[in-house]
Amino acid sequence: MAGSFDVVVVGAGIVGAACAYACARRGLTVVVLERAGLVAGATGSGEGNLLVSDKLPGPELELALFSNGLWRRWAAELGDRYGDIELEAKGGLVVTGVGPGADGAAGLAGLRETARAQSAAGVLVELLDPAGVREREPAITPELAGGLYYPQDMQLMPAKATAALLAAARDHGAEVRLRTEVTGMLRDDGRVVGVRTGAGPVAAGHVVNAAGAWAGKLAGLAGADTPVAPRRGFILVTEPVPPLVRHKVYSADYLANVASGDAGLQTSTVVEGTPAGTILIGATRELVDFDRRHNAEAVRRMAQGAVRLFPALAAVRAMRVYHGFRPFSPDHLPVIGTDPRIPGLVHAHGHEGAGIGLAPATAHLVAQVLTGERPDLPLEPFDPARFSSEVETAGAAA
């Protein structure tokens, strides 16, 4: 047996790294098992936005607000000991009525309603007229109806944050084993008591499923039905330019795309700068399984939308395009907590396009569950068994 731990975390994306950090600093013995290298999954594709602006009142917004505070605390705790995670509290800007022909009045009415609801739920939000928007973003098109400003929205560099969390977890005694694929679960009288890997079995009190878009497959090894699916997204990256975009800026239809479960191509305009000077342009969403082929139409629409929002981008060259697979959950809520069907199995996945933002709160709740503390947020909305009450029987040692 290759060791025995309180917790095996499967997956070294941002959620697995955050779980390892939150558990190890509470004194649990932790090993992270990752079949590839660091940030081999969606985390390596994420823009790194930590948003409250794109969530309506409900459990996900509560998780986001909680995470927002934790990211600030964790960034201070990590300091610069593990490298700069590039946390920028730069704020977000949602705009409406962009371009000729857009229905600005309807867009503004929608934004007002969103702001009213979010504000009642604790989000800081400010309604801006076109002059107010241009004061915050001088290079934005003058052809818009108005916008909302969200001072709590932040951004960080996901790969650096993941590496920093894993390094800090190691300092608290955690082990990280890369190129170690989990291929089965160890079972004892129905309880998950560890995992099988190519390098031998690893015993553990609990197995945390942080396998991102592959979480359904991993849960299946334990006989748990978890309908998490990959939702593909492309990002267009420009050459580095002098500061042009100050905030995370996106069009209001992004909110509808995030909330939709439509399998077809959905695009909305999302633009933001990075400390390196590149500009990241998104966003697309498609349920096409793990299809890694290029989609020229998706990229064309993103580029057009970005130029409509920031006309100066027409003269900026695109440097590369990449894609990733968001872990999509059918009801748009993550899957967090112990599996009531399978003792020993704990879930931490299904965050779709918000896993970087929601990682700290998820990890905090997982650590609270594993140490027997009362969770700071209700876990019922994230119940792993909410999609199905059926448990397929897995072999005693699958």
Residues of this chain that bind ligand FAD (CB under 6 A): 10-16, 33-36, 40-43, 45-49, 181-182, 210-214, 218, 233, 235, 324, 326-327, 349, 351-357
Q: 284: which 2 tokens?
A: 């697309």
State which residue, 36 or 241, has the beta carbon closest to ligand FAD: 36
Q: Which is nearer to ligand FAD, 115 or 361 (CB)?
A: 361
Least Cβ distance, residue 185 to ligand FAD (angstroms)? 11
Choice between 143 and 175, CB closer to ligand FAD: 175
Strand, coil or helix: 381: helix
Closer CB to ligand FAD, 130 or 357, in the complex: 357
- Which ranges of 87-221 does DSSP label H, i.e. alpha helix? 104-120, 130-136, 158-171, 215-221
**Residue 127 beta carbon to ligand FAD: minimum distance, rounded to whole angstroms:** 24
Q: How far is the CB of 334 from ligand FAD (least distance, A)?
A: 9
Name residues whose C-beta falls within 8 Å of residue 48's C-beta, 6 or more positions apart in sequence.
86, 155, 156, 157, 158, 161, 356
Cβ closer to ligand FAD: 36 or 288? 36
Residue 37: CB minimum distance to ligand FAD, A: 8
- Asked whether 337 and 369 are in contact (CB, 8 A), the reply is yes
What contacts 138, CB < 8 A, 6 or more positions away? Answer: none
Distance CA 266, CA 367 (A): 35
The DSSP secondary structure of 7-18, one letter per residue, reads EEEE--SHHHHH
Q: Tell me which DSSP letter residue 391 carries.
A: B
Report which secondary-structure segment, H or E, holds 49.
strand 49-50
Smallest gap from Cβ 330 to ligand FAD, in A, equals 15
Nearer of residues 106 and 256 to ligand FAD, judged by Cβ: 256
In the complex, minimum distance from the CB of residue 202 to ligand FAD, in angstroms, rounded to a whole number:
11
Q: Are 172 and 24 in contact (CB under 8 A)?
A: yes
